[in-house]
Structure 1
Amino acid sequence: MFCGSITVEAAAALPLFFFAVLALCCMLEVTAVRTSIRCGLQYAGKAAAETAYAKPFLLPGSIEQDLVQAAGADRLDRSLVESGSGGIRCEGSRMSMVTGIMELEAAYRVRLPLPVFGGVSVPMEESLRVKGWTGYEKAGLLTGEEETVYVTETGMVYHRDYHCTYLELSIQMVPASALDGLRNESQGKYYPCSGCVHGEAHGLVYVTDYGEKYHSSLNCSGLKRTVYALPLSEAVGKGACSKCG
């Protein structure tokens, strides 16, 4: 009787023990995968920062390629990442034309090969901010206690936040064929820029999150922002920005 009870308890405990070991191994593997992808994202960010002065925008495909190269394609293909090295997406990465700060994001899914969970996949995301090598602007340009505001050459408003979305242009490359269904953050359509779009657009064009125009050239003046810092008292005739004012 005594030996029989031990056998029953062992039969019930062993599956739980093996499940705990399997769960621990999965946790260690997920941690290792996240560390590899974060290191790869840091490598991709450094590579993008080095070319930020000559190329003031981000190509998600290049970020993904550099990330996979740094993390190791074979390592990712053998990991718990769904679709392996091809399952990492960096579409959310962007760069500010004003500050040169790049926000990199790597989204992917991790499979959990545990019978209890039915082999489900869990979404994961790694992110970091990197300053592009575009130069340095010393803080504290103005003295005294008067508030500092920011204006552009042709803008009719002043901004209290240097990182206002109307000052930071997040440029994206999109196919011209997708413009009809594309909307900006205000749900408005994109119209051709009178300065750089002549005739029907083809291939890839450039748009911004809050802009109303699409551009065929990255050097178009509509994609440039020259920002000046000045005391609020000198912003005569300008109204406050609807977002940061």
Structure 2
Amino acid sequence: MKIVIYEGKYSESFLEKVESFLAPIIRSEVVPYVKESLLFVRVSIPKIDKNGFMYFGIIDVMVAKASLSIWSTEVTEAELHWRSSDGSIVLASDDVTDKEISFWIENMPSQERLQQVVERNEYMWKRPTKEATIDKKLYRFKIREMGWFGSSFPDIGIKIKTPVNIEILAEFIGNAIESYNQKSLLKDDSDESDMTNLGLIHNFSYEKKKKNVYLFTLDMGSALDGVDAILQALNKSDFEIELITLE
């Protein structure tokens, strides 16, 4: 578990107190459903409430691969509030080693909301079974899976028989991503019980590794079918592809 505070400086002693408060809550509310090693907590945007107490306006418990926010909703933001025992104002940047501080959370999402998001995450990032991996028989080129490629940032290696300008190849993949994203945006995602959200591919980078071998690294976000969509597009293209590796 990792806790990160954004928007403003903070002291190590303050961060330790935040972590000691949040860690037990995370373990009881979230860890029973997801591995703790995949989580990090983000608290951000320091504010002052009507009573003069400091607080952070958003608390997210993120699952690293899916980047799904668990502790925030479209309606409310969970808030981490704190105050000192002697009534003095405590800033996140203060050294609070010997300071007694009490924390509390307001707008805590319901157990039902937490369960919905955790179940969604488990569906999206469940390690694929042998039957659920890429069906290589559907493609005209060889596909080699380098371990499990169910990652938010998969690498797609493309080996082509004849030379091609990498910018042309990148433009083609960019168009395939744009087509995929447009399809995803048209999907009605208002039903949180619907586990078929396509998600969006955010961006990608590329480089030429050696003669006729090109590597594309994608920021998939929660785009489950993004890799397959790109493979399908390449399969229909005129590129003389010899091998594709997925990692």
When normalised by structure 2's length, the TM-score is 0.29
When normalised by structure 1's length, the TM-score is 0.29
Which structure carries more strand by proportion? Answer: 2
Which structure carries more helix by proportion? Answer: 1
Structure exhibiting the larger radius of gyration computed from Cα positions? 1
**RCO higher in 1 or 2 (8 Å CA, sep ≥ 6)?**
2
